[in-house]
Amino acid sequence: MVFIAATVLLMMVIAWASTGPSTSALVKPKTPHPKQATQAAHTTGSILLEWVGDITPGSRYGIPPGNGRGQLNRVSAYLRNADLTLGNLEGTLSNGGPDKCGSSGGSNCFSFRAPTSGVDGLKSAGFDLLNLANNHAWDFGQEGQSQTTHALQKAGIRYSGKPGQITILRHGKFKVAAVGFAPYAWAANINAPGSAARLVQKATHMADLVVVMIHAGAEGSDKGHVPYGSEYAFGENRGDSRAFAHKMIRVGADLVVGSGPHVVRGMEWYHGHLIAYSAGNFAGWHNFGLGGNLSESALLRVRLDASGKMLRGQWRSVWIQQPGYPVLDQSNRSGNHANELGLADFGKSAVRVGPDGQLITP
């Protein structure tokens, strides 16, 4: 009787499989790792994350007043109004180390070093974490980076982007893993997608949410589009942003945000998750080229639940005024431009910025 019952049960399972939903309908865009799924099941509510692009709090070209407070005070109230605020630190906070450009620099060499006191402006503005995976993090070698990380730690600002580094941020019951990538030896390498995928997979076991930050792409006012394949600048392979971002989402990232081209790029909806390839520059001081699309920037906000679902998002357009401080832009120039670029690059998968700044997903 047991044999007959088992046989009948097996036949029922086979019959259901042959008449049930198709395999493609059952496949989810991203399957959480077991530990991540367990954590999400015990974490309720949502968290508001904010991202901005390249920040240089001073260099040989000039130092903003008030230890950097004068650079960011026009947007600091908005920066502080998120649960976790992240940005890309384009340069060092240091007083020593060998200058990669020599004593006076050159026409095609730029090195950015702000005094360690420049961290005060970043702390005052509300930054919780800064990405160090970029081409200027090593402008003054190991000594410059060590002084930078010490200054950030002393100010209570976390950082990520070094090889193999996963930084865990906590807000309430939420744990958020931040992982930064760039095409350099001093960073987790965007041009090594296999090891990058393993790092992100590891991060999914450590936190409820995983945010991947990429510093990639060619530079310049004509580099707003996200191409297929690798991009090159100054003889460097600056990574295949599109393929890399897609892979990071597939292996477990909940959000991918970017910087590097010094201009705004379009946004893409991929497997139910947001990829914002570049929010442009955010703040400098006589060191960034400005005017036209080089002055377009953004404050990107994303509210996620513990499963990684985006509940809503907002693109707040910013305009960078001389000599490099950001102000809110009511005309929505960068948002409109991001829409044009996104439609051209991603078609029906583009994420659009509405008239009120709210993100509109496909």
User: Does pTM surpass 0.85?
Assistant: yes
Whether pLDDT at 7 is above 50: no
Nearest CA-CA partner of 286 in 34, 64, 119, 75: 64
DSSP conformational letter for 190:
T
Topology of domain 40-99+110-360, CATH: Purple Acid Phosphatase; chain A, domain 2 (3.60.21)
| Alpha helices for 92-234 (secondary structure H) | 119-125, 141-155, 193-204
Token pair for 68: 């950097």
Most confident range, picked from 1-15, 63-77, 97-111: 63-77
| Residue where the block lists tokens 């090594």 | 192
| Alpha helices for the chain (secondary structure H) | 2-19, 23-26, 34-41, 69-72, 76-79, 119-125, 141-155, 193-204, 241-251, 333-346
Task: Report the alpha-carbon distance of residue 9 to residue 15 in Å, rounded.
Answer: 10
140-187 pLDDT per residue, tens:
999 999 999 999 999 999 999 999 999 999 999 999 999 999 999 999
User: Are 299 and 78 spatial neighbours (Cβ–Cβ below 8 Å)?
Assistant: yes
Q: Average of pLDDT values for 12-21?
A: 36
Whether pLDDT at 4 is above 80: no
In which band, very low, low, confident or very high, does the pLDDT at 50 lie, cut at 50, 70 and 90?
A: very high
265-287 pLDDT per residue, tens:
999 999 999 999 999 999 999 99
What pLDDT is attached to residue 21? 34
Whether pLDDT at 103 is above 90: no
Average pLDDT of the chain, as a whole number: 90
- What distance separates the 2 farthest-apart alpha carbons in the chain? 90
Is the pLDDT higher at 35 or at 306?
306
Task: Report the alpha-carbon distance of residue 303 to residue 313 in Å, rounded.
Answer: 6
Task: Report the alpha-carbon distance of residue 41 to residue 134 in Å, rounded.
Answer: 35
Segments making up each domain of the chain, as ranges: 40-99+110-360
Strand partners, 113: 92
What pLDDT is attached to residue 312? 98
In which band, very low, low, confident or very high, does the pLDDT at 43 lie, cut at 50, 70 and 90?
A: confident
Task: Report the alpha-carbon distance of residue 72 to residue 68 in Å, rounded.
Answer: 7
DSSP conformational letter for 330:
T
What pLDDT is attached to residue 106? 63
User: Are 326 and 290 spatial neighbours (Cβ–Cβ below 8 Å)?
Assistant: no
329-352 pLDDT per residue, tens:
999 999 999 999 999 999 999 999
Give the SS3 label for residue 349. Answer: helix
Task: Report the alpha-carbon distance of residue 224 to residue 226 in Å, rounded.
Answer: 7
DSSP state letters, 259-323: E-SSSB--EEEETTEEEE--B-EEE-SS-S--SGGGGEEEEEEEEEETTS-EEEEEEEEEEEETT
